[in-house]
DNA sequence: CTTGACATCCGAAACGTTTCGGGTTAGATT
DNA sequence: AATCTAACCCGAAACGTTTCGGATGTCAAG
């Protein structure tokens, strides 16, 4: 269908070699010849065949990313759409495209990674939402393929790769201390699934906050959720059924916090005055929730952009000033955390 | 780096041809041989080189999509992240990946299309947010490359391509009639930018609604916005500055409606009782806005999925039962449209 | 003993590009 | 007249795969 170098060569009377060299700006072709070739190329609507280029081992100008699929519950993608937008915008400025595969974690997911990496379709990969003993990281390291990660490994695991993460241990400590300062003594916690790498960090931060406020850690104030709104709803129900005297609940992401608010309101209680709620992420919906959600801000969009810059530096063989970045979290106080208790 | 067919051929003692045929399931290779070859392939971690395959003209198993970039304002991507998720999930089920390029509309954007289409990187393209005299559609038709579109052409332009759209003219008529029924007589309208294909449909729907309710169309009750929250804010300010007696404002998408609510609340007025507000799209934030937003529901996620099915049918040469789908919009009444006026 | 059929295998060409290692010409220098 | 240089150009190989069109060997039927 499309015109090839050969077509241009025939039409212009030069060889394929010369056409190729003219088009890619070598200086051993006459300027007049080059102009002629370029005009023929344009008249034929020539566009280079990328697979052919890649076959020669040239850059694919493409960044790969595998994102978790989860059908209906697209709003769970809030985090990923922000990350994706950051990655996409930064990539575009570097004339890179994105190859995206949405996959449910598991065998198919690893196959998607293999297709991209060994299949030679991308120059580098962006990973997100690290898990414990993450097989994706092991694979990419073993392949020696350039990659960067949003989120470091779980505590105790090696972190021998480039990443950007927010210190969520500090985040949860700050949140917990803040609630204690408001006067709360019984604070529930809804954690992410156990296999997520940052779960332990947040769990630890919560414990640190309690210790700092002189409160004892109560294992049954803590439940696990699924990072979705529904998980927050169920988690809050469970906590309030067993411990109706809780005066505050921290959910480990904003989506679960929104679910928590629904559960509280469904019981005829007021979010804030009756039960304080706090989340983590500061997704756009947090600001517009009712009441607006107190949360820990993560600059997800910026992280996406910086990941691209790191990745391309690695791909180009430049060395990175910083290859492991830990950002400090920021507390954003809104109405959901309620007034100071008296 | 990665193992090739040649490596497997050498290690197994068969020819490259036989290895290739064994691996791709031809039946003229001995079952025992095949097993042997497969085990060698696995031991070498073989993964086919996709560019090489594509060079031979085989399917790329990839769907292309160019989405508008707009830096900071990622929340504007609400519509696109839902569409993207729908497209991604459906594609994944068909073992397709997505090639995404984020681009600001203009020359660079067309270049991204050319790279994907003529560069042979995708089997088909998904377009969204049709514009007037859309050069992308003209290009894809001229190239004869498979594509499907979310949103038909502007009124009066030909619609000779497969699309899925929501009848937004009906949507705006319904919305307008609903507000009139509530007792509103002075209803402002914030339209999308003029070059968006659906702008005239929505404008017409508004006029139809007014006519049906026996109200006269007032050109100065209508302003144009930019589809972002900020555009809704500015549009509402302009409307209320010049026409403080407006009792209702329709914004042509939810994001602008949220901006409109901020503007109203910033003036010390109550959204609903003082000024009714309605939007269009039913993005997740609409439900959690305060007050919750009355709006027209578009099943964006499902549209994304159906677009993929249509596109793949075209790519595979199957014929489509329906290639131009117009969905009926659904009114979702929430608090922002306020009570019946007395 | 021929013939044909079948099962199994393979050589070589092709896809479109880039690039190495030249070649040819014209003019300038010896 | 021979040599050198610079400017311009090109043939052929290579990337990894698929596939067309056979080739070879075995065995049963004629």
Strand B97-103 to A97-103 pairing: antiparallel
DSSP B164-198: EEE-HHHHHHHHHHHHHHTT---EEEEEPPTTBTT
Question: Is B89 a domain residue?
Answer: yes
**In a mutagenesis test of the B interface, which of A57, A70, A71, A97 is the best target, namely the one with the most B β-carbons within 10 Å?**
A97
At how many degrees (to 10) do helices A31-43 and A5-12 cross? 120
Residue A81: which of B77, B143, B288 has the nearest Cβ? B77
Helix, strand, coil: what percent of chain A each, to 5? 45, 15, 35
Strand D and A29 CB separated by under 7 Å: yes
Check whether residue B152 and residue B172 sit in a common domain.
no
Low-confidence ranges of chain A (pLDDT < 70): 1, 70-77
CB A305 within 8 A of CB A299: no
The 3-state secondary structure of B7-73 reads HHHHHHCCCHHHHHHHHCCCCCCCHHHHHHHHHHHHHCCCCCCHHHHHHCCCCCCEEEEEEECCCCC
Which nucleotides in chain C lie closer than 7 A to a protein CB? Answer: 7-12, 14-20, 22
**Would an 8 Å CB–CB cutoff place A175 in contact with chain B?**
no
Q: For residues A289 and B289, what is the distance between their CA atoms, to the nearest angstrom?
A: 6
Check whether residue A12 and residue A122 sit in a common domain.
no
Check whether residue A208 and residue A100 sit in a common domain.
no
**Would an 8 Å CB–CB cutoff place B316 in contact with chain A?**
no
Tokens of A117: 């990496």
Question: Is A67 a domain residue?
Answer: yes
Closest CA to A101 of B203, B168, B66, B100: B100
Q: For residues B141 and B163, what is the distance between their CA atoms, to the nearest angstrom?
A: 13
Q: For residues B158 and B134, what is the distance between their CA atoms, to the nearest angstrom?
A: 11
pLDDT given at position A94: 94
Check whether residue B231 and residue B265 sit in a common domain.
yes
**Chain A window 9-68, residues with Cβ within 7 A of nucleic strand C:** 16-17, 20-21, 23-24, 28, 46, 48-49, 52-53, 55-56, 58
The per-residue b/e assignment along A285-301, b for 16 or more CB within 10 angstroms, e otherwise, is bbebbbbbbbbbbbbbb
The pLDDT tens digits along chain B (342 residues) read 578 999 999 999 999 999 999 999 898 899 999 999 999 999 999 999 999 999 998 899 999 999 987 654 444 457 888 899 999 999 999 999 999 999 988 888 999 999 999 888 999 999 999 999 999 999 999 999 999 999 999 999 999 999 999 999 999 999 999 999 999 999 999 999 999 999 999 999 999 999 999 999 999 999 999 988 899 999 999 999 999 999 999 999 999 999 999 999 999 999 999 999 999 999 888 887 889 999 999 999 999 999 999 999 999 988 888 999 999 999 999 999 999 998
Closest CA to B307 of B57, B58, B82: B82
CB A208 within 8 A of CB A178: no
Q: Which residue of B has its CA nearest to A113?
A: B47
Q: How many domains does chain B have?
A: 3
**Would an 8 Å CB–CB cutoff place A217 in contact with chain B?**
no
Check whether residue A35 and residue A71 sit in a common domain.
no
Cβ separation A55–B55 shorter than 8 A: yes
Neighbours of A192 (CB within 10 A): 24
- Nucleotide nearest A57, CA–C1', reads D15
What are the chain B neighbours of A91 within 8 Å (beta carbons)?
102
Cβ separation B69–A92 shorter than 8 A: yes
Tokens of A253: 């992401």
Question: Is A53 a domain residue?
Answer: no
**Would an 8 Å CB–CB cutoff place B258 in contact with chain A?**
yes
Tokens of A313: 């530096």
Nearest-CA distance from B292 to chain A in Å? 9
Question: Is B342 a domain residue?
Answer: no
What residue numbers bound the domain in which B247 lies? 168-298+330-337
Check whether residue B176 and residue B253 sit in a common domain.
yes
Q: Which residue of B has its CA nearest to A97?
A: B101
What does R_g of chain A's alpha carbons equal in angstroms? Answer: 26
What are the chain B neighbours of A102 within 8 Å (beta carbons)?
85, 88-89, 91-92, 98
Question: Is B222 a domain residue?
Answer: yes
**Would an 8 Å CB–CB cutoff place B107 in contact with chain A?**
no
Please report, rounded to whole angstroms, the spatial distance between the CA atom of protein residue B13 and the C1' atom of nucleotide C9.
12
The per-residue b/e assignment along A13-50, b for 16 or more CB within 10 angstroms, e otherwise, is ebeeebbbbbbeeeeebeeebbeebbebbeeeebbbbb
Question: Is A287 a domain residue?
Answer: yes
CB B167 within 8 A of CB B328: yes
pLDDT given at position B77: 57
Tokens of B273: 């009782």
Check whether residue A294 and residue A309 sit in a common domain.
no
Check whether residue B285 and residue B177 sit in a common domain.
yes
Nearest-CA distance from A65 to chain B in Å? 10
pLDDT given at position A74: 45
Neighbours of A309 (CB within 10 A): 15
pLDDT given at position A70: 65
Each residue's pLDDT tens digit, A291-312: 999 999 999 999 999 999 999 9
Question: Is B188 a domain residue?
Answer: yes
3-state SS, residue A324: strand
Please report, rounded to whole angstroms, the spatial distance between the CA atom of protein residue A25 and the C1' atom of nucleotide C23.
21
Nearest-CA distance from A216 to chain B in Å? 35
Cβ separation B97–A101 shorter than 8 A: yes
What are the chain A neighbours of B75 within 8 Å (beta carbons)?
284
Cβ separation A49–B67 shorter than 8 A: no
Strand C and B14 CB separated by under 7 Å: yes
Check whether residue A275 and residue A183 sit in a common domain.
yes
Check whether residue A95 and residue A180 sit in a common domain.
no
Question: Is B148 a domain residue?
Answer: yes
A9 contact partners, CB below 8 Å, separation of at least 6: A15, A16, A18, A19
**Would an 8 Å CB–CB cutoff place B100 in contact with chain A?**
yes
Phi and psi angles of residue B112, each rounded to the nearest 5 degrees, phi first: -65, -40
Please report, rounded to whole angstroms, the spatial distance between the CA atom of protein residue A15 and the C1' atom of nucleotide C19.
14
pLDDT given at position B74: 44
Please report, rounded to whole angstroms, the spatial distance between the CA atom of protein residue B7 and the C1' atom of nucleotide D20.
23
Q: For residues A4 and A165, what is the distance between their CA atoms, to the nearest angstrom?
A: 46
Per the listing, tokens 């952009």 go with A305
* CATH number of residue B230's parent domain: 3.40.50.2300
pLDDT given at position B79: 84
Tokens of A69: 């699929």
pLDDT given at position B288: 77
pLDDT given at position B178: 98
Check whether residue A99 and residue A201 sit in a common domain.
no
Check whether residue B37 and residue B75 sit in a common domain.
no
What are the chain B neighbours of A55 within 8 Å (beta carbons)?
49, 51-52, 55
């Amino acid at each position: 269908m499309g015109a090839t170098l050969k077509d241009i060569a025939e039409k212009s009377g030069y060889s394929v070699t010369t056409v190729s060299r003219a088009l890619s700006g070598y200086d051993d072709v006459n300027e007049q010849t080059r102009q002629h070739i370029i005009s023929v190329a344009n008249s034929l609507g020539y566009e280079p065949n990328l697979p052919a280029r890649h076959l020669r081992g040239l850059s694919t100008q493409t960044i790969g990313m595998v994102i978790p699929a989860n059908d209906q519950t697209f709003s769970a993608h809030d985090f990923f759409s922000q990350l994706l937008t950051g990655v996409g915008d930064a990539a575009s400025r570097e004339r890179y495209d994105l190859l995206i595969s949405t996959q449910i974690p598991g065998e198919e997911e690893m196959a998607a990674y293999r297709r991209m990496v060994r299949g030679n379709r991308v120059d580098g990969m962006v990973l997100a939402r690290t898990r414990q003993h993450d097989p994706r990281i092991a694979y990419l390291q073993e392949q020696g393929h350039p990659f960067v990660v949003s989120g470091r490994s779980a505590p105790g695991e090696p972190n021998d790769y480039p990443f950007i993460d927010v210190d969520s241990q500090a985040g949860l400590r700050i949140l917990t201390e803040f609630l204690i300062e408001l006067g709360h003594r019984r604070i529930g916690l809804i954690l992410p699934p156990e296999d997520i790498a940052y779960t332990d960090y947040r769990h630890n931060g919560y414990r640190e906050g309690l210790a700092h406020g002189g409160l004892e850690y109560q294992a049954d104030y803590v439940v696990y959720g699924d990072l979705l709104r529904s998980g927050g709803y169920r988690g809050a129900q469970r906590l309030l059924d067993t411990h109706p005297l809780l005066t505050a609940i921290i959910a480990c992401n904003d989506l679960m916090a929104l679910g928590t608010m629904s559960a509280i309101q469904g019981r005829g209680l007021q979010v804030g005055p009756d039960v304080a709620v706090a989340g983590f992420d500061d997704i756009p919906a947090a600001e517009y929730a009712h009441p607006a959600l107190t949360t820990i801000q993560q600059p997800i969009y910026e992280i996406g952009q910086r990941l691209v810059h790191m990745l391309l530096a690695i791909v180009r063989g430049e060395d990175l000033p910083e290859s492991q970045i830990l950002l400090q979290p920021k507390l954003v106080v809104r109405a959901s955390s309620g007034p100071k208790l008296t």
